[in-house]
Structure 1
Amino acid sequence: MAAGATARDTGMLYKAAAFVGAGVVAAGLGYAFLLYTRKSRGGADDAVDDSPEMQDQEFPEKRVLVLGLDNSGKSSILQVIASHDGHNIPEPTEGFNVMCLQGQDTTLNVWEVGGKQSVRLYWENFVSNTDVLVFVVDSADVGRFPEAKEELHKLLRDDRLKNVPLIVVANKQDLPASRRDSDISQALDLESPSQEREIHVVEAQTMSDPPNDSVTKVKSLMDQLSKKD
């Protein structure tokens, strides 16, 4: 396994292989190896610092889990975070993808799992050791809000995610039918007194030039919240 991948993540890679299917796993494992060796450093231009000092420096690793219904835009959000490219729409994630991002003194191992109903059955196999949960919602697809709420609260009832900070990304704000953060919060019942966790709702859009600054805010929150005990 490439440098930077922890033992627990190596275990998860092979655990995913058992649940998602051989074809998806072959692609997912190859993608994971590639991204673990191509770290994107945060900063003004997200350039990678290849200096000997940076290569020798080790950062604490944190695990970020990115979920959401199919077509919510999870892959697009991560593509913009990693490369600032909002023009090329990535293919829907059939299994899982792994991305390694450099935050401020933290390495973020970002796991994105597909949102089709057949893949959602296996979400629970990815939640262990999560430091930050990101849930992406298509803010213009009002008809699927109840489905998104059901899937999110199913996750939040898992004891392994107890008190884990939550970032809800209200994506596709560029669409006319999109709902704002307060509407998303209400639709997903994020203000329930039973939610004993830090919750942030971020409005975002990826199809803009340059990409919406709020996408950068998502990465900053990943980094900031991952440091909390």
Structure 2
Amino acid sequence: MDTRLRLAVLCGTALAAAGGAAWAWARLRRRAALPAARPAAARPAAAVGAGDQGKGHSKQILVLGLDGAGKTSVLHCLATNHVKRSVAPTEGFNAVCVSTEESQMEFLEIGGSECLRSYWKMYLPKVLLLIYVVDSADHARLPVAKQLLHQLIQNNSTLPVVVLANKQDLEGAYCITDIHDALALSDIGDKRKMFLIGTHVAEDGSEISSSMKDAKELIAQLVLEAQ
């Protein structure tokens, strides 16, 4: 596997599993505690555009992926630290704010249905981080997920990307190594910060899994580094 796919612990040390084994996000030495988020009402595209970027310390994070990948459930976990699997598919825009001592992060999810994908690229110049969610068990649509991801970032060589290989708990789900290859992440380039984390959403009402906690810490750290 190409070593250009970098995984880093919170202190910044890069690591890779030895002997070509699956890449893994290491358990961090400490937890970057994020307070519970306050979900914001879905707003039209113009309301969360470039005009909002830079006000105060707000940092917009774009959450994309095919319909059914689990974006909304993942976003709920990141924002509340609790699981809610039975959420309706996003048919437009879904914005959630998470406040920390250092900044206010605004997660903007855009639905993954074919009719909404044309909006994705419009928002890339306005964000500091892209979270791309894929369904690890949806083998048939991984080529589409790959194509869309590469098209999204082909003209932006420095935008950090966090790929969440979601639904790792499902039977037949591809492991991290297979997702890395299926998405051809080695071809994305070595100038950007690129992370690949296996995630899953546990039972409703439970606390989020350790992998989701790690993803949350990583995102918080990337935001801090961008300030």
**TM-score over 0.5 for the alignment?**
yes
Aligned residue in 2 for 1:205:
200
Question: Match of 2:142, SS?
Answer: helix
TM-score normalized with structure 1 length: 0.71
Equivalent residue, structure 1, for 2:215: 218
User: What letter matches 1:178 in structure 2?
Assistant: A
Cα–Cα, structure 1 residues 11 and 192, in superposed 2: closer, same or farther, change >3 Å?
Answer: closer
Offset of residue 87 of structure 1: 4.0
From 133, 140, 144, the counterpart of 1:143? 140
Aligned counterpart for 1:179 among listed residues 174, 178, 196:
174
Paired with 2:86 and 2:94, the residues of 1 have a C-alpha distance of 15
1:1-229 maps to which residues of 2 (within 5 A)?
12-13=46-47, 60-103=57-100, 105-159=102-156, 162-192=157-187, 194-208=189-203, 209-229=206-226
Farther-moved stretch of structure 1 (215-224 vs 186-195): 186-195
User: What secondary structure sits across from 2:174 in the alignment?
Assistant: coil
Q: Secondary structure at the match of 2:177?
A: helix
CA RMSD of aligned residues (A): 2.4
Q: Which has the higher contact order (CA 8 A, sep 6+)?
A: 2
Matched residue, 1:49: none
> Identity percentage over the alignment?
33
Label 1:179 to 1:216 Cα distance change in 2 as closer, same or farther (>3 A).
same
* Structure 1 residue ranges, 4+ long, deviating more than 4 angstroms after superposition: none
Is there any run of 5+ residues in structure 2 with no aligned partner, and where? 1-42
- CA distance in structure 2 between the aligned counterparts of 1:210 and 1:86, rounded to whole angstroms: 6
Which has the larger helix fraction? 1
TM-score, with structure 2 as normaliser: 0.71
Query: Corresponding residue for 1:30?
Result: none
In 2, Cα distance between the equivalents of 1:114 and 1:65? 11
Does the 8 A contact of 2:137 with 2:172 survive in 1? yes
With 173-182 and 96-105 compared, the bigger mean Cα shift is at 96-105
Q: Provide structure 1 residue ranges, at least 5 long, that are not aligned to the other structure.
A: 1-8, 17-57
Query: Are the equivalent residues in 2 in contact too, given 1:169–1:201 (CA < 8 A)?
Result: yes
Q: Which residue type is aligned with residue 126 of structure 1? A: Y
